[in-house]
């Protein structure tokens, strides 16, 4: 059940700003060393002393990892955050309390429109299609990785044909009650027990 955090709105906004800053810094510190390493490897970026360069790269990666670990729990209620994509974390909405990374206030329950049966059926159907298709795609990926299936242009086309519809399905999923974007709230393997962090809507098993 979604519960209020007990913090005033100004405190929530301040914690949301801190959360976003940590996410951005983690993203830059983890992506920056990868880019500079590629540029150095291609001879575009002079490295000077290799040991100093590698040490700086490792230090930046470790700092980014520490910052990343600091945003694995909701700053208001401590609920574990299943979203791993750093970009999506900038829009995170906690399903356990009223924290929103955007700093906007949560939607009052009395302002949430009643969900139509048709909208709920469409949402449940999308979730079922994804939950059925994702294990198939994962199995195909594992077969390719183990060299059981041959690697060819046709095989890559099959992988894309399986992946793109699933990706499009997830990225277009929105709460049937308030329209909140689902990928910023739950990991894909938790869609079957979706609970909206904006309005509190819960997908009931039927």
Check residue 109 and give its pLDDT: 52
- Most distant CA pair in the chain: distance in Å? 65
Reading the chain (206 residues) residue by residue, the pLDDT tens digits are 444 556 777 888 888 899 989 888 888 888 888 888 888 877 787 877 888 888 888 988 888 888 888 888 888 888 888 776 777 788 787 877 778 887 776 655 555 567 778 888 888 888 888 888 888 888 878 887 777 777 677 767 777 777 888 878 877 888 888 777 787 677 766 777 787 777 778 876 54
Contact 77, 97 (CB under 8 A): yes
CA-to-CA distance for 111 and 106, rounded, in angstroms?
Answer: 11
Neighbours of 74 (CB within 10 A): 22
How far apart CA 127 and CA 115 sit, in angstroms, is 16
Sign of the CA dihedral with 35 first, then 38, 44, and 49 last = positive
Which tokens go with 10? 């100004």
Please say whether the beta carbons of 87 and 178 come within 8 A: no
Tokens of 2: 């979604």
Beta bridge partners of residue 181, listed in sequence order: 174
Structure-token pair, residue 136: 């198939």
Q: Which of 109, 91, 112, 111 is nearest to 101 (CA)?
A: 91
- DSSP letter assigned to residue 113: P
Angle, CA 121 vertex, CA 115 and CA 126 arms, to 5°: 115
Domain definitions of the chain by residue range: 9-106, 115-193
């Amino acid at each position: 059940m979604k519960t209020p955090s007990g913090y005033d709105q100004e405190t929530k906004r301040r914690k949301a700003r801190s959360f976003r800053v940590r996410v951005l810094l983690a993203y830059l510190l983890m992506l920056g060393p990868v880019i500079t390493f590629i540029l150095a490897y291609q001879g575009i970026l002079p490295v000077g002393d290799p040991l100093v360069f590698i040490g700086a790269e490792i230090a930046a990666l470790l700092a980014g990892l520490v910052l990343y670990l600091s945003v694995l729990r909701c700053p208001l209620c401590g609920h574990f955050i299943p979203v791993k994509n750093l970009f999506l974390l900038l829009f995170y909405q906690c399903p356990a309390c009223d924290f929103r990374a955007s700093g906007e206030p949560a939607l009052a329950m009395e302002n949430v429109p009643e969900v139509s049966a048709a909208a709920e059926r469409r949402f449940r159907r999308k979730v079922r299609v994804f939950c059925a298709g994702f294990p198939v795609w994962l199995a195909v990926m594992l077969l390719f990785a183990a060299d059981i299936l041959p690697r060819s242009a046709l095989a890559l086309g099959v992988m894309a044909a399986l992946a793109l519809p699933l990706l499009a399905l997830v990225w277009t999923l929105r709460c049937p009650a308030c329209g909140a974007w689902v990928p910023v709230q739950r990991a894909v393997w938790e869609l079957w027990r979706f609970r909206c962090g904006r309005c509190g809507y819960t997908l009931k098993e039927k």
